[in-house]
Amino acid sequence: MKNIRKYFMITVFFITILIFDIIVSKETINKYIHPDYDAEYSEIENRMYSKFKELKNFDLSRFFNSNVIQEDFEQSLADNFIFSEDIRYFFKSDFKLIKYSKLPKKICKNNYVRVDGDYGVYDCDDSLVYYPYSKNKFYLQLQKNLKDYDSINKNIDTYYYFVPSSYSFDFSNNTSVVDVEEEMKKNFKNPYTYSSLNVSDYNSYKKYFFKTDHHWNYKGSYQGYKDIINMIYEQDDINEPSSEISFKNSNFYGTLSIVSGVREFKEPFSVYEFSLNEYDQKIIGTYGVPNSNVYKFPELYSDPFLYHYYQYYGDDYSLVKYNFYNPDKDNILIISDSYIKSNRELIASHFNETHILNLNEYISDFEKNFDIKKYVQENNINKVLFLCDLWILSGNNFDIEWR
């Protein structure tokens, strides 16, 4: 009875909007709401018309019987009405008919199916990923930045560890949007060392990343830590986990779930724990949230709105220093973003002093570019590591040239 009433309300809702659209032309309304609206050409509405070929053979009975809907169908309907954003939000609410996890295999097998904006599912899986971005989104800025990075290579031992996020890898043909290693070979004239997380297909990606978040999971960050230490200190002993913990009923919903509104996919938040030597930590810039103790209390960490990657590993700091008191080891500067949060202490345990810089946070806090030459000289730094994804390598909001 509840289902009949729900579907009746949905039908009434759409009929009401349809009648209103017939009475009041969308063109007329758009001329007042959007002054730049062009009745002859509207990119938004042309998106609708471009779907007609796809929709003309659409089997509506199969659609409802299999509980299936795709972003393209949802978008094409919504775009033909005013209040389209409200309609799209309605579809993402608890009343939605969307069940992405139940898509027919012939639609999603070895394919992307769009969920919202830049996000989708791949290969009928119960995970969210980015659609692969265009090479043009990064390429020109990357070429410029590589010249700055090479100025650092020239003056100090520099290492690069690349994290292939889903937006930088096309699973449909198992190729990178940009071959970062090859671009470095072509553009760098000075010595450097490169390594990366081994993602060669969707299965290897799933092993290392969360189901609904763009960050690497505990297995991915641990693999990254091992790769980095083997790249810099081949003979160093690797820290082994003292325990593996999965917080039951933690129901981790990551950034991709939050932004897209899809709550069907979830997983328990899991971590490795380690026993490290004592160390000192100093945070410079805006003081962030330290690691939380909510994980001692199931009633707290089971909160479905808790963003576990942030809550467990702590905040993004502009600059944080670790001292593990290893005088025979190097002092290192690590330039990264939020990927470093989950293994910063692990990596720092192999050095004397470790200085970790988040360029975006630093510029926001201090409203100036980071002077890497000055900082390296004043802090006796003798190694630099870039732990980065494509966003950091091709960022256009900072200048890090060695001057």
Model pLDDT, residue 290 = 58
Model pLDDT, residue 243 = 96
Distance CA 286, CA 362 (A): 9
Report pLDDT digits (tens) over 99-129. Answer: 555 667 777 888 998 887 888 899 989 899 9
Model pLDDT, residue 401 = 84
Phi and psi torsions of 282, nearest 5°? -130, 125
Kindly report the pTM of this predicted structure. Answer: 0.76
Model pLDDT, residue 181 = 96
Task: Decide: residue 229, CB within 10 A, 0-12 exposed, 13-18 middle, 19+ buried.
Answer: buried
Model pLDDT, residue 99 = 59
Report pLDDT digits (tens) over 201-242. Answer: 999 999 999 999 999 999 999 999 999 999 999 999 999 999
The residue whose two tokens read 């969707």 is 202
Q: What's the CA dihedral at 325, 330, 331, 332 to 10 degrees? A: -130
Model pLDDT, residue 399 = 79
Distance CA 175, CA 38 (A): 39
Distance CA 278, CA 182 (A): 40
CA distances, 393 to each of 143, 148, 389 (Å)? 10, 10, 7
- Cα atoms in the Cβ-side hemisphere of radius 13 Å centred on 365: 17
Q: Beta partners for 49? A: none
CA distances, 344 to each of 20, 112, 332 (Å)? 57, 33, 12
Distance CA 349, CA 332 (A): 11
Name the packing angle between helices 71-78 and 84-92 (round to 10°): 150
Model pLDDT, residue 124 = 86
**Residue 54 in tokens:** 């796809």
Distance CA 137, CA 68 (A): 32
**Residues of the chain under the 70 pLDDT cut:** 1-14, 17-103, 286-292
**Residue 83 in tokens:** 């209040």
Mean of per-residue pLDDT scores for the chain: 80
Model pLDDT, residue 20 = 56
Distance CA 204, CA 257 (A): 21
Model pLDDT, residue 59 = 37
Model pLDDT, residue 107 = 78
Model pLDDT, residue 66 = 37
Model pLDDT, residue 178 = 95
Q: What's the CA dihedral at 122, 313, 332, 168 to 10 degrees? A: 10
